[in-house]
């Protein structure tokens, strides 16, 4: 399985919404490559547009760095409910390396998705799982973490990112 090249902001594909996956079972090879790429990066989540695949899918494994892994592939995910209570946590992004940002997210989400076998899942995600899923879900709608910041913070973080890239 090959490692996929990760796109870096401001690549325009990171700002575009993705298309639905017509056949979840046809994504098995892509999903396997995305997991391999995510682990090698090393990240905890990776969305289709980050590797140039403009499809509504992402992979995540929020526990592999600290304990046994819990890999999850989410195809055509939909957030069906979310908490009004926000939590702010530090987030980083494989497409925006070298900077982290404080981003407010819903404390929990109820998300529905398909896996690579075409099985439907509905689950309440909390804690870091909820944060990671919301981060990756944003990518599917063309939203990066810069877009979640107030203008002044965004300008400062973009400058830090540009300095890191040089």
Give the model confidence (pLDDT) of 71-86 as tens digits.
999 999 999 999 999 9
| pLDDT attached to residue 64 | 81
Report the topology of domain 12-165: Peptide Deformylase (3.90.45)
| pLDDT attached to residue 69 | 86
The predicted model scores a pTM of 0.95
Residue 68 has pLDDT above 90, yes or no: no
The one catalytic residue in 12, 107, 112, 136 is 136
φ/ψ (deg, to 5) at 66:
-120, -15
Q: Kindly state the DSSP code that residue 40 receives in the 8-state scheme.
A: H
Residue 124: how many other CB atoms lie within 10 Å: 13
Which tokens in the block code for residue 120? 């439907």
Which tokens in the block code for residue 6? 């990760």
Of 139, 158, 148, nearest to 43 (Cα)? Answer: 139
Active site residue 136: yes
């Amino acid at each position: 399985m090959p490692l996929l090249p990760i796109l870096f902001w401001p690549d325009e594909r990171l700002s575009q919404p993705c298309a639905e996956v017509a056949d979840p079972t046809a994504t098995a090879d892509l999903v396997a490559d995305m997991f391999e790429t995510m682990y090698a990066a090393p990240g905890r989540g990776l969305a289709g547009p980050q590797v140039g695949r403009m499809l509504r899918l992402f992979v995540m494994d929020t526990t592999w760095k600290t304990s046994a892994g819990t890999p999850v592939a989410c195809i055509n995910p939909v957030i069906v409910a979310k908490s009004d209570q926000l939590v702010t946590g530090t987030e980083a992004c494989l497409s925006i390396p070298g900077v982290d940002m404080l981003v407010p997210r819903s404390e929990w989400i109820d998300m529905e998705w398909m896996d690579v076998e075409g099985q439907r899942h509905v689950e309440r995600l909390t804690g870091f799982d909820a944060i990671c899923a919301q981060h990756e879900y944003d990518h599917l709608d063309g939203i990066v973490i810069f877009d979640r910041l107030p203008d002044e913070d965004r300008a400062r973080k973009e400058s830090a990112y540009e300095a890191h890239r040089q």
